[in-house]
Amino acid sequence: MDREGVGRVCRSLPGVTLEHSFGEDHDVYKVGGKMFAIVGGEGALSFKVSDIAYEVLTESGRARPAPYMAKAKWVSLASPSDWPDDELAEHLKIAHALIAAKLTRKARAELGLA
């Protein structure tokens, strides 16, 4: 999946905004003001995963711990185009859900997530 494909998947999710918090060449996808996925300037993709997915993906070598975000269970893919589109789309949907679940009930309701 390329940068545009990641954007299509992320923007299709409820309550998502696209920002360029780290420069115009970085696409930062947020829900309720909180990041769930980032596409870097050179095309690498980082996103939030569950604790179990973090262990499986990093130990198998399919992903590496995301710089600066590994402690929060984020992974990074140097070449997201190497992944099957449907599998990557599912990981992005899960990343969105993990972050959305941490929002307040009121924030989730305002975003149409409750």
pLDDT in tens, 57-113: 999 999 999 999 999 999 999 999 999 999 999 999 999 999 999 999 999 999 988
Where are the strands (E) in the chain, listed by range?
16-19, 27-31, 34-39, 45-48, 64-65, 74-77
Share of residues in the chain with pLDDT > 90 (%): 92
- In this structure, are residues 9 and 96 in contact, taking their beta carbons and an 8 Å threshold? no
Q: Is the pLDDT of residue 114 over 80?
A: no
Query: Are residues 48 and 72 in contact, defined by beta-carbon separation less than 8 angstroms?
Result: yes
